[in-house]
């Protein structure tokens, strides 16, 4: 059978988000014939509604905020922000990435490519007929059956619903409806102070067109991080004119013609009513598994609604899963890594186990915060003795030159002779780039003496890492005695 007549594929990928796309390309590397099924947006939430769209909006908001500053020796006149213009720029960025993905798929389509392997895109929704066959239904209702040796489920996730609150994607929205506004809302209440909620609070407050209220049930925002990180993010949001309500929950929303009436309940048994123009529900995400007919393939999600896989990303026999449908952090880089790993296992390539511990993340706040490895909460829970050093960006020449001294580097090491690097948190300009030097060393199992073999260029933000490491060896250039608020070091042991 020729490539053009293929009815059976080596691999069928259900979902063309970042993970599914990465899997298809890895299988193509191995000379496999791949069918990609996607009924929605190419790139999935990672491109259209999530990482790329949100971060494009964050970059625009950051630039606007910098342009609006009046403490740098210049003042921009006639500065204005138009939501439709911002929206169009975001959509342009999204379409640019989608077109790149589509162009690559087309370049290796059977009718265009005679080399080993191929990529075939089926626009429609996949549902299992058996463990080796799926049915694809397009938007016009036409059906087609696809057979494959292996299947990868990478259908991503969708925003969680709030009980008894209907999202209309007009005034009451989730992250999927963020581009539906016709103009900047004058007053916006965000329900949920996790990473996504805090990112959108940063975006809208940076544009300086919207009064933002941020509501969360926890006592601190970003509750999984250490208190100093949460406090740092909270303080900066407050300075950006965001009102934060801790230990509060949304009781109900009453729609009026000109506004929404938001009723909040607080932990101390009081209630408070707010009038806003729009509400953003940001209370986590849930796997996209509806319509897949998983039972026909002998698969059932767990009690939390996720697919359970083994160490090789395999659910059972020839069916694998990766990304948001598996209960790991909903990160693009994690979905890509798991998807590529699954393909390698399907086709018998040697590989080392996936190592989740040193997966670095970036939180796009003001300023951005990057994280890798353990934090202090995790170390204490695991009863790991540790030392931690904190070095403020205020002492870095590059940060001073940028007039952006808000931020720090915080490094945690084992409290023993080896002083192995356990984790790092960084906040400030370029934090997402500087953290990778430590992530690489952690993957290699290096200690701080190995890390200090490299001299960082000057002036750069990465010098904060260098000085923080020197601080742990009592060799830093600037000393905590002179700058007790900017340089700190402490230790913790389970025995006190």
**8 Å CB contact between 9 and 33:** yes
Q: Is 20 annotated as a binding residue?
A: no
Q: Which of 142, 256, 259, 458 is catalytic?
A: 458
Q: Is 126 annotated as a binding residue?
A: yes
Q: Is 63 annotated as a binding residue?
A: no
**8 Å CB contact between 28 and 109:** no
Q: Is 157 annotated as a binding residue?
A: yes
Q: Is 112 annotated as a binding residue?
A: no
Q: Is 464 annotated as a binding residue?
A: no
Q: Is 192 annotated as a binding residue?
A: yes
Catalytic residue check, 458? yes
Instruction: Write the burial class of residue 108 (CB in 10 Å: 0-12 exposed, 13-18 middle, 19+ buried).
Output: middle
Q: Is 12 annotated as a binding residue?
A: no
Q: How far apart are CA 126 and CA 286, in angstroms?
A: 19
Q: Is 495 annotated as a binding residue?
A: no
Q: Is 194 annotated as a binding residue?
A: yes
Q: Is 324 annotated as a binding residue?
A: yes
Catalytic residues: 458
Cite the annotated binding site by residue number. 55, 126, 155-157, 192-199, 284, 324
Cite the annotated binding site for FAD by residue number. 55, 126, 155-157, 324
Cite the annotated binding site for NAD(+) by residue number. 192-199, 284
């Amino acid at each position: 059978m020729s490539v053009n007549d293929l009815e059976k594929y080596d691999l069928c990928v259900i979902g063309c988000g970042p993970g599914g796309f990465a899997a298809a390309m890895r299988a193509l590397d191995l000379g496999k014939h791949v069918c990609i099924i996607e009924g929605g947006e190419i790139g999935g939430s990672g491109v259209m509604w999530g990482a790329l769209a949100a971060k494009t909006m964050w970059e625009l908001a950051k630039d606007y905020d910098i342009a609006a500053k009046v403490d740098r020796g210049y003042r921009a006149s006639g500065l204005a922000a138009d939501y439709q213009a911002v929206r169009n720029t975001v959509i342009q960025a999204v379409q640019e990435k989608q077109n790149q993905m589509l162009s690559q798929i087309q370049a290796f389509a059977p009718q265009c490519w005679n080399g080993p392997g191929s990529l075939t895109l089926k626009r429609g929704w996949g549902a299992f007929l058996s463990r080796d066959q799926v049915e694809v239904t397009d938007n016009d209702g036409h059906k087609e059956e696809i057979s494959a040796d292996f299947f990868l489920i990478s259908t991503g996730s969708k925003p969680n619903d709030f009980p008894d609150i209907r999202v209309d994607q007009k005034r009451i929205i989730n992250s999927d409806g963020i581009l539906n506004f016709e103009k900047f809302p004058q007053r916006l209440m965000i329900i949920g102070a996790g990473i996504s909620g805090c990112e959108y609070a940063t975006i809208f407050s940076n544009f300086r067109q919207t009064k933002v209220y941020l509501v969360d049930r926890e006592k601190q925002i970003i509750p999984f991080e250490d208190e100093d990180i949460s406090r740092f993010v909270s303080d900066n949001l407050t300075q950006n004119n965001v009102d934060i309500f801790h230990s509060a929950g949304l009781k109900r929303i009453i729609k009026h013609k000109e506004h929404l009436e938001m009723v909040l309940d607080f932990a101390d048994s009081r209630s408070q009513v707010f009038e806003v123009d729009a509400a953003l529900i940001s209370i986590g995400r849930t796997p996209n598994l509806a319509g897949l007919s998983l039972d026909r393939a002998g698969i059932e999600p767990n009690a939390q609604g996720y697919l359970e896989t083994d160490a090789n990303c395999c659910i059972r026999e020839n069916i694998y899963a990766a990304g948001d449908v598996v209960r790991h952090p909903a990160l693009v880089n994690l979905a890509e890594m798991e998807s590529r790993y699954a393909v390698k296992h399907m086709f018998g390539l040697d590989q080392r186990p996936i190592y989740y511990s040193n997966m670095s993340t970036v939180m796009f706040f003001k300023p951005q915060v990057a994280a890798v490895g353990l934090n202090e909460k995790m170390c204490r829970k695991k009863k790991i003795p540790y030392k931690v050093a904190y070095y403020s960006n205020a002492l870095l020449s590059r940060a001073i030159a940028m007039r952006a001294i808000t931020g720090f580097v915080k490094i945690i090491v084992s409290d023993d002779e080896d002083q192995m690097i356990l984790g790092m948190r960084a906040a400030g300009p370029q934090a997402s780039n500087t953290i990778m030097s430590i992530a690489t060393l952690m993957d290699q199992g290096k200690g701080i003496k190995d890390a200090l073999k490299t001299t960082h260029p000057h002036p750069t933000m990465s010098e904060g890492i260098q000085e923080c490491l020197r601080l742990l060896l009592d060799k830093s250039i600037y000393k905590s005695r002179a700058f007790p608020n900017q340089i700190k070091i402490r230790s913790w042991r389970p025995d006190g």
